[in-house]
Amino acid sequence: MVKIGLLMSGQGSEAVGMGNDLYQDYPIYRDTIDQASQLTQLDLQKIMNDADLLGQTRYAQPAIVAMSVGISRMLTDAGVSTAGALGLSLGEYSALIASGMFDLTTGLPLVAKRGALMQATVEAHPGAMIAILKPDINQIQAACETIQKTGETVAIANYNSAKQIVVGGTQKGIQALTTLFETLEVAPKVIPLPVKGAFHTALFEETAHQFEQALAQVTFKEGVYPVISNTTEQPFEVASLQATLTAQMYQPTHFATGLTQLAKQEVTTVIEVGPGNALSKFARQTVPQLDRFNISSSAQFETVVAALKEGAH
């Protein structure tokens, strides 16, 4: 029996023109984007087609969430049933809205507030992030601790899969860490990421507690399916949702563990919804037995729905 888990895109997956064909072809998607634009007082369709705007955290975050929620609504409308969901960082908000733990009316202004606060932090305290391929976690942790002793912030920010983690920190800290790696007998492979902030590190702790005030105004509900938290590595719970989403901003994400949790819930198929396909790659690296799809275009949506109907027979 096919059991479907949704994977919700995080920041960094955005691309100019994302969702344009969906906006043209599917009224339910178009209505979602238009409603999200009204709720945030942002022209999200314009933002999705403007490289300068989309490159700013304050605009990219609501745009990505609106797109992901729009696609999830298309799937529901097509009769696709969901058994669970997992988002990467920002994508958790898409998953929580899609599951019903809070609605679009509440969720989109919250995401816009989060994006604006994080943008301000990026401007006040610029940071850097690097992806490390095939990491030796103990080696990376020891190297981070060496740099931390100099007073700079560096820490593992994202445990994406067994084959990729991300380290974030101050610009000086990341530069020192990269230099330290070059002195090691076996230097890890490092890829600089095109971001200006060190998300999911201590540099965002003060921002998180500012955002907590906005979270305190929200009433959360039980979702129609479980959403796995990047922070606790367990399904979100209504009673602790405010605390978990606060901690999420400055603690590392554990996406790989979330994937294994979905598999333990007997999910057989994952569908990545939103721009990009990075999460599908992490799924292949972490739980290779899962069937994988991703939807960021009309053609992909039609292919996925047809494949699921074919598999149901």
Last residue of a domain, one of 195, 225, 255: 195
Last residue of a domain, one of 195, 228, 247: 195
Does residue 133 sit in the same domain as residue 191? yes
Does residue 93 sit in the same domain as residue 212? yes
Does residue 96 sit in the same domain as residue 133? no
Examine the residue annotation and report whether 200 is marked as an active-site residue of this protein: yes
Active-site choice (9, 89, 99, 296): 89
Does residue 133 sit in the same domain as residue 109? no
Does residue 103 sit in the same domain as residue 233? yes
Please give the C-alpha separations between residue 44 and each of 39, 85, 153, in angstroms, as whole numbers: 11, 24, 34
Q: Per residue in 152-187, pLDDT tens?
A: 999 999 999 989 999 999 999 999 999 999 998 888
Does residue 176 sit in the same domain as residue 280? no
Per-residue pLDDT of the chain (313 residues; tens, 9 = 90+): 889 999 999 998 999 999 999 999 999 999 999 999 999 999 999 999 999 999 999 999 999 999 999 999 999 999 999 999 999 999 999 999 999 999 999 999 999 999 999 999 999 999 999 999 999 999 999 999 999 999 999 999 999 998 999 999 999 999 999 999 999 888 899 999 988 899 999 999 999 999 999 999 999 999 999 999 999 999 999 999 999 999 999 999 999 999 999 999 999 999 999 999 999 999 999 999 999 999 999 999 999 999 998 865 3
Examine the residue annotation and report whether 297 is marked as an active-site residue of this protein: no
Last residue of a domain, one of 195, 223, 245: 195
Give the chain's domain count.
2
Domain of 140, in residue numbers:
127-195
Active-site choice (200, 229, 254, 296): 200
Taken as a whole, the chain contains a residue count of 313
Does residue 289 sit in the same domain as residue 183? no
